[in-house]
Amino acid sequence: MVSIKNIHSPQQEEESTFDLSAYLAGRQVQVEAALDRAIPLTYPEKIYEAMRYSVLAGGKRLRPILCLATCELTGGTLEMAMPTACALEMIHTMSLIHDDLPAMDNDDYRRGKLTNHKVYGEDIAILAGDGLLAYAFEFIAGQTQGVPAERVLQVIAKLGNAVGAAGLVGGQVVDLESEGKPDISLETLNFIHTHKTGALLESCVVCGAILAGSPAEDLQRLSRYAQNIGLAFQIVDDILDITATQEALGKTAGKDLQAQKATYPSLWGLEESERQARQLVEAAKAELASFGPKAQPLQAIADFITNRNH
């Protein structure tokens, strides 16, 4: 079995003095606190409880952290980006709740806990996802402060595009259509993942920079960084489905094989999948060169994508 630990060279580890674990832990605490405040437990309590159950169930908080990091990198503040960062986690959580439903991927565990529909029933789980999706946009529009209105509008439009049929929803549809077809082409596999996973990750990175008022060239560089880490993230997700335990993943392991799903390892094998992920991470990091040492968090997050074990 191939381990994806130490996927980058020891030399690279020496070069970086940036403490990513401390950085991520600090940001996670800030994001969790903001999410806790964002969704109050009010009437009708049942739906707010279901929304809070999944949003506050843990998770790496990679999407909000990416948004905060690019906003800071491009001259903005954490405060400017926090409502959007929270909204991104609400949207991501919504997609996990719906993805876990029996009509979709049908999973009992997520983030180490029973899935939303297992606790609250399918009806409430669907509504909890709907509630989170709508609230995410309301939250950006109503809570963002210190940012010109046209930038907020740009963020809302970009996010709507990434989540709808042109993004997440479209990727999920092609994924559903591809079930039980282990022979789908690399082009179709790439379409699924650039839409289902990549579009939201790209939005996280670019929205942080939009809020800070970045020029178009920087938005393009950051967008290419995000597209590369998005694909690497999915390749690693496919590898982990084979190599990691349910305990480490917090969700059912080995599902892709069981469902005879086409994945990067099924197409390329584990070794080549690791090589491709590593190459994408290097390409992503190259896009950050012009930002200098300020881009250390984003450089380290790119490495983390291939080094993670869950």
99 binds ligand GRG (CB under 6 A): yes
The three-state secondary structure class of 150 is helix
Nearer to ligand GRG, 204 or 211 (CB): 204
Q: Report the nearest approach of ligand GRG to the CB of residue 262 (Å).
A: 15
Q: Which two tokens stand for residue 2?
A: 């191939």
For the record, the structure tokens of 242 come out as 């084979």
Angle of helix 199-212 versus helix 78-100 axis, rounded to 10: 160
Counting contacts by CB under 6 A, is residue 126 touching ligand GRG? no
Contacts for 131 with CB less than 8 Å, ≥ 6 apart: 47, 51
Cα–Cα distance for residue pair 37/110, rounded to 1 Å = 23
| First vs last C-alpha separation in the chain | 16
Task: Give the integer Cα–Cα distance in Å for 210 and 126.
Answer: 31
Residue 36 CB, nearest approach to ligand GRG (Å): 16
The residue whose two tokens read 């390749």 is 235
- Determine the interface stretch with ligand GRG among 29-37, 90-98, 252-260, 298-306 (rule: CB under 6 A): 90-98
Instruction: Write down the least CB distance from residue 92 to ligand GRG, Å.
Output: 6
User: What residues from 33 to 72 belong to the interface with ligand GRG (CB under 6 A)?
Assistant: 59-60, 62
Other beta carbons within 10 angstroms of residue 157's beta carbon come to 11
Binding-site string for ligand GRG from residue 143 to residue 182, where x marks contact by CB under 6 A and - marks none: --------------------x----xx--x----------
- Angle CA 252–262–280, to nearest 5: 90
Query: Which residue of 133, 205, 253, 298 would you call a contact of ligand GRG, by CB under 6 A?
Result: 133
C-beta closer to ligand GRG: residue 111 or 158? 111
- CB of 198: closest distance to ligand GRG in angstroms? 9
Q: How many Cβ atoms sit within 10 Å of the Cβ of residue 221?
A: 19
- If one asks whether residue 98 binds ligand GRG (CB under 6 A), the answer comes out as yes
Number of residues that bind ligand GRG (CB under 6 A): 17
Which chain residues interact with ligand GRG by CB under 6 A?
Answer: 59-60, 62, 95-96, 98-99, 104, 111, 133, 163, 168-169, 172, 196-197, 237
